[in-house]
Every structure is written in C-alpha cells, then in structure tokens.
Amino acid sequence: MDEAAPIPEQPDNRAEQSLVWLTTHWAFWRPTPLRHLLAALVLALLVGGVTALVYLTGGIQYVYSHSMYLPIVLAALLFGWRGGLALALVGGVALGPFMPIDVDAGQMQSPLNWIYRALLFSLIGVALGLGVGYLKKQLHMARWLAFHEPLTGLPNRLQLEQGLLTFAGTDMGSPALILIQLRNIEMIGRNFGYQTMDEVIKAAYHRIKVQLPEGCSAYLFWSDQIAAILPDNLLQDDAELPERIAGSLRTPVTVSGLAMHLEVQMGIVRGGVIEQSPMGLLQHASAALETGLKEGRELSLFIPGAADAEREVLGLLGQLREAIREGQLQLHYQPKVELASGRVIGAEALVRWRHPQRGLIPPGLFLPAAEETSLIHPLTEWVIGQALSDQVRLRECGLDLIVAVNVSPRNLQSKGFERYLRGQLAMPSVRPEMIELEVTESAFMGNIEEAILLLERVRELGVKIAVDDFGTGHSSLAYLHRLPLDTIKIDQAFVRDLGSHDGSLAVVRAAVMICEALGYKSVAEGIETEAALLELRESGVQVGQGYYYSRPLPFDDFVAWVERDLTRSAI
C-alpha cells in the first residue's frame, strides 16, 4: 500500500511571505499576442547581438560565445521548453557552420564542435523550460488553493475579503453584503455523507450566483455560509433580491436522486449604513443573521447598534470567572410568603454582580448568556455554596427558612454538578429538606425519561424541586405528573395580567388544580398589588412572592425585613 504523502509543515514567516508574493506576482507576464511579438523581437536582437559580439571579438575561440545562454534562459522563462529549444537551435546555428574559430586566420570550426554546442544549448533550453513550466504550475496551484475551498472548488473567505477590499477601491459606491446560512447542511453531511453535502453546497452556491446581478460575486464564507457582495445602489433598486435568493433555495436540491430541503437564514447589511470597514460588513452581516435566527425571521437586515448589546454581554462573560473568584457576586433574597397566614416560609436566592466599574448588574444581563456556556457551572456552584452558608446564618438568627436556588438545565445534565451537590448536601451543617432547586421547564425537554431519572436522583438527596416560570415554557401536561416535583411556580406573566386578562385567571386556577391533584405546592411569583394577592389567595394559591411583599434584598436587609415582619404579625 502506498504511504500517504506527508503533510508539509507550515512555512516559516519569510518563506510564507515570498510564496504569497510569488503567487500574486508571478502572473506579471501575461502572454498577449503583442507581448509575444515584442519578446520574440528582443530575443532575435539578443541572438543577433551575441553573434555579432562573437564575430567582432575574433571568433568562437574566445569566451563571448557563452553569452548565448542569456537569450536561451529568457526564451525558456517566457515560452517554456519549446521556446528554450527553439532559441537554442537558432543560437547553435548562429554560432555554428558560419562562425570561424579564428576570424583573423579565417579558420572554421569542425562540424562536431558546433553540433555539440547546439545540442548542449538545446538540453539547457529544454531542461530550464520544463523546470519553469513545473514551477509555474505549482504556483498556479498554490494560488488557487489560497483562494478556493479545495473540496467544493468555490471561492473562499480570503477571496471574499480581497473582493471587499478591492470593492472599496472602485467607483461602484459602497458595497452591500448578503450572508446566506444553510442551516441544515451539517445534518445533511452527517446523514447522507460529506460528498453529498459538498454537492448541495455547490448547487446552492450556483443558485445564489444566478440571482446576482452581472459582475457580482459570491463566496463560501464558512462551510455553511455563502456571502454575496454587490453594490449597495443595486440592492436599493432591487429590494426584492434577497427574497428572490431565499426563494431560489426553497426548491429542494437533488443529489444522486435524493431531494434535499435547505433550511436558509439570511443576514443583510446595507452599505453606507454607518462608517464601516469592509471587514466590519462581514461582522454586521453575521450579527444580522444571528438576530434573525433568534427572532425566527428568515431574512434580517443589520440595524446599527443591535450588535452592541451582544458585544457587551460577551465582554461581561469574559470577566465572569474572575468575578466569581474575586467575590464580586452576591446573593439577594426575596421572601416567599404563605398566602393564607402571611407567614414568611422561605426565600429565593437571586444572584447579582457587583462589578467594580459598572456597579450592580442584574442577572438578566449575563445569566442567559452564561447558561449557554460551561461558565454556568462555577456560577451555580458558587450560588449553592453561598446559599447554604447563608442558610446556616439565618438559622443562627432564629429563622428556619426554605432557601431556593435557581439551577440551570445545563447544570442538571452535568455529572460534575451532581457530584458537587452530593458533596455539599452531605455537610453536617446542611439540612437538605430546607433546600429547594428551581428549574425552568426547558430542563425537561429532550429526553423526558432521562430527565425523570435525573430529577429522581437529585431528589433522593433530600432536596425539594420546583418548576420555575410554569406556563411559559413547553411543559406538556402529558408528563407533568411523572416528574418528581414538590412545587410549581406560576410565572409572573399570568400574575401581572390577572386584572386585565380573564385567560390569566383561568391559567392560574388550572395550575392550582394540577397542584392539588398531583400533591404539589403552588407558588405565584411577581405579586405587585393587593388586588393580585387577593385574587391569588381566592384561587387557592398557597405561597406568593413579589414586590408587594419585598424586592430581593441583600442578606442583612432581608434578615431585618423578616424580623420586622415577625414583629408586625406578633402585634
């Protein structure tokens, strides 16, 4: 079996730079008929000049005949091996039968002498021409590979960036960019093979290209994204173009008899919207694409400023790990009140970030993004550790309250988290039955059987489990009764709308009925008014939480609030 060719190492910097220079400049000699004619003329002059030089300096016996290598090398460089051979033969004959060895003595050369020289010239001309031809081919290949994606042969991101840069230097106005993501292309590759996937990408590319105005190009930006550049005024005149591109991709692509549907997402950025570098356009188009994806729109136009919030969140995420280490996070507690008696029975721990420059940052700014990453693990571990020690301090103040912590679905899926929880709950100071984990409904999505097993394992540790934001997620009544739960927290959206929407009251009552039937505790969050409180109490909700009672408070303020409340109820 043939051994696979070794993959060459990445060239060092200088070599790489020369390669880039060569690949971009080697084509300085573009063979046009006029250039051919000019080159042939120069070569003829050189041959004539060398012949005259040899004759005038006294004949072939002197060293000047070697000057003939110069036109031979030039001919091989410009015209390849055929040119090298032709010039070698002409030069060989010019210094051949008619050129004396010694002009003054009138002594001629022997045939063997000039024939050997002519053959040597030919050998050099052909060898050099072949070598140059090979090198040109290699450079051509290197240049092609630098600017194309090798498997599909489509123009790649480097070409796209060059296209944007050169666009800026033309008189076509400012460029607009349309970024088209083939969202299910990876899935096609996984299921039908990566060759089929490449064929689908090529077909999609050609469909897009056909829709573009003449002279505009499309490029493969990522393996699943195709970018098209066009003058902004063209897009302004033809606002339907993006829709037409999307439409052209709606017809399934057929590869090897299989019809494949494409799921498409498009981000558009108009030129001249804001001052932007050509590369900035790419970022903006990606941001528009992402926004469309989040908002469930197939086509989305970049709006300046829209990406700033996302950049801000990413910036915060970058600092989060250090913030946890340096103790910048803190927990605020919001009381949970038994509606019938008005007694405080617990508290929800809600994280806040005291940022050294930006002050107090609410969780809404960084938590949803952190939940998308593994950063949620150290964060939740810190929250649990802090909440457990706060609970001990509460007990020392004579307050025996159930403390609830929010746990992200991602935490629950992690074995490491389970181990951490087990370790924390095994500590002697901890009473697991006084801990509640609040989990949103999305944690039960996907594999429900697995979710049930997981929750059962966690619940066996002795903690309580609550479904948070009930009614807003995707909970299916079909499995609700199978989940090992203790509490259902009716989302604040329903509580807020109690006075204005009859539907909300119906949902609250239905949730209470479910809780009663399944033996769960019902909690309503977001109670802001007395009217809402009365309505909820009337509907049979057992526990309430909201600004009506108290906003989430720092630990000491919370303790003071509960103690004040106790005094009030005692009076």
Is there binding between residue 175 and ligand C2E (CB under 6 A)?
no
In the set 438, 487, 508, 545, which binds Mg ion (CB under 5 A)?
A: 438
* Position 428, amino acid: P
Which amino acid type is present at position 504? S
When asked if residue 469 is in the footprint of Mg ion (CB under 5 A), the reply is yes
- Using the contact rule CB under 6 A, the part of the chain among 71-79, 126-134, 319-327, 546-554 near ligand C2E is 546-554
x/- contact string, 205-224, with ligand C2E (CB under 6 A)? --------------------
Q: Which residues contact 329 (CB under 8 A, 6 or more apart)?
A: 323, 351, 352, 353, 354, 379, 382, 383, 386
CB atoms within 10 A of CB 415: 7
Determine, following the binding rule CB under 6 A, whether residue 403 of this chain makes contact with ligand C2E: no
Helix (H) or strand (E) holding 334: strand 329-338
Smallest gap from residue 263 Cβ to ligand C2E (A): 30
Span 247-286, contacts to ligand C2E by CB under 6 A: none
| DSSP codes, 453-505 | HHHHHHHHTT-EEEEEEETTS---HHHHTTS--SEEEE-HHHHHTTTT-HHHH
192: Cα within 13 Å, side-chain hemisphere:
19
Binding-site member from 177, 269, 350, 435 for ligand C2E (CB under 6 A): 350
When asked if residue 468 is in the footprint of Mg ion (CB under 5 A), the reply is yes
Q: 437: alpha, beta or left, given left = phi > 0 and alpha = psi -120 to 50?
A: beta
The reply on whether position 406 binds Mg ion by CB under 5 A is: yes
Q: What is the C-alpha to C-alpha distance for residues 403 and 552, in angstroms, rounded to an integer?
A: 13
Q: Which stretch binds ligand C2E (CB under 6 A): 155-163, 200-208, 459-467, 543-551?
A: 543-551
Q: State the number of binding residues for ligand C2E (CB under 6 A).
A: 24
523 and 541 Cβ atoms separated by less than 8 Å: yes
Alpha helices in 249-375 (DSSP H): 278-295, 306-325, 363-370
Does position 211 interact with Mg ion (CB under 5 A)? The reply is: no
Stretch that binds Mg ion, among 218-226, 267-275, 326-334, 463-471 (CB under 5 A): 463-471
Q: Minimum distance from CB of 526 to ligand C2E (Å)? A: 4
Sequence letter at residue 383: V
- Pick from Mg ion, ligand C2E, none: which does 367 bind, CB < 5 to 8 A by kind? ligand C2E
Output 287 or 523, the one with its CB closest to ligand C2E: 523
Residues 28-57 close enough to bind Mg ion by CB under 5 A: none
216's CB contacts (< 8 A; 6+ apart) are 228, 229, 230, 231, 234
DSSP string, 234-247: HHHH-TTHHHHHHH
CB of 498 to ligand C2E, least distance (A): 12
Give me the residues that bind ligand C2E (CB under 6 A), please. 334, 350-351, 362-364, 367, 380, 383, 406-408, 438, 468-469, 492, 525-528, 545-547, 552
